[in-house]
Amino acid sequence: MNNKAEDPNLWNDATEAQKLMRERQQLDESINGVKLLEQQVNDNIELIEMGEAEGDADIVKEAEDALKSLRSEANRRQVEAMLSGEADSNDTYVEVHSGAGGTESQDWANMLLRMYTRWAERQGYKVEILEIHDGEEAGIKSATILVKGHNAFGWMKTESGVHRLVRISPYDSNARRHTSFSSIWVYPVVDDSIQIDINESDCRIDTYRSSGAGGQHVNTTDSAVRITHIPSGIAVACQQERSQHKNRAKAWEMLRSRLYEAELMKREAAANAQAASKSDIGWGHQIRSYVLQPYQLVKDLRTGVESTAPGNVLDGELNEFMEAALAHRISGGADVEVADID
């Protein structure tokens, strides 16, 4: 790739040149990351040997803690190396939908939106809000965000499903415990190399006024666009831009991505059963439970991974859950630890 990058004729085809440079950079970062990991492991082993020789328990403890952190990083890289799906390296769209339950469910949907936004920021990804519908009193009815970064879809693809929250409702004057449901739907951004044919006569296009605070003209013109693909029932919406034309173009991109993901789902047996936007948002369909009262526990119902610190999870600490879910999916559904995969 370095030799190709030095070819003076490379930039005769700008698209291919950009693709090559992007792939070269990603490989370079991966290789350097592994080299750095190896160096840090060796350095900490030497520190342990030095601490033991000098009888310094503090140095030994510090180096052992560092090795534990490095093991987690190695597990993450091990799973990331298996993200070989044709769209795994792409950016991704994430939709959040509140379930039945009014304000309580809408507040939970807003908490999930914040959780995934915080997770993406922790990974160094960029997040754009494309569409959001606020709840009547609090929270959101639905939202769509675009997460930009290498392997964004690969990491997030196992998050599609229904998420369940149990807590003492801040909206209940009697302080009763409530159970709320919201769904997440993740699908990849597709580039021009993937051909998706859409018959425009099969689509219905609606325009409406954007919601939210917005800026000048955002809430005074019908700039938001919703496109519904009638044969599949798939609907997408965008209100990010002030221009209806730009929102329409973005909505078409989103629809292409949704139809592409639908095709990917067909290739995976029974995967449509997991489609959050096509299943009931309630009991029997959840992939993860978040219990805040009477005890504190987050549990993934597919892998059995648990956390007794739901506050940290809701603040974006999701890697442990994502790694286990990806390993579970890669192994064909068998119960395995991430570290067991060679």
Residues 6+ apart with CB under 8 A from 142: 95, 96, 97, 98, 109, 131, 132, 133
The pLDDT of residue 285 is: 67
Give the confidence band of 310 by pLDDT, cuts at 50, 70, 90: very high
Per residue in 162-184, pLDDT tens? 999 999 988 777 778 889 999 99
The pLDDT of residue 331 is: 67
Residue-range domain boundaries for the chain:
2-80, 92-188+270-340, 200-267
Give the confidence band of 313 by pLDDT, cuts at 50, 70, 90: very high
Q: How far is CA 173 from the centre of its chain?
A: 35
Angle at 44 between CA 38 and CA 46, to 5 degrees: 105
The pLDDT of residue 243 is: 86
Residue 54's DSSP bridge partners are none
Q: What distance in Å separates the CA atoms of residue 264 and residue 190, rounded to the nearest whole number?
A: 12
Whether domain 200-267 has CATH 3.10.50.40: the reply is no
What secondary structure letter does DSSP report for 281?
S
CATH classification (class only), 92-188+270-340: alpha beta
Q: What distance in Å separates the CA atoms of residue 152 and residue 91, rounded to the nearest whole number?
A: 5
What order do you get walking across the sheet with 224-229 strand by strand?
203-208, 224-229, 234-238
Give all strands (DSSP E) within 111-252, no chain letters. Answer: 126-134, 140-148, 161-168, 177-188, 203-208, 224-229, 234-238
Per residue in 56-77, pLDDT tens? 999 999 999 999 989 988 887 8
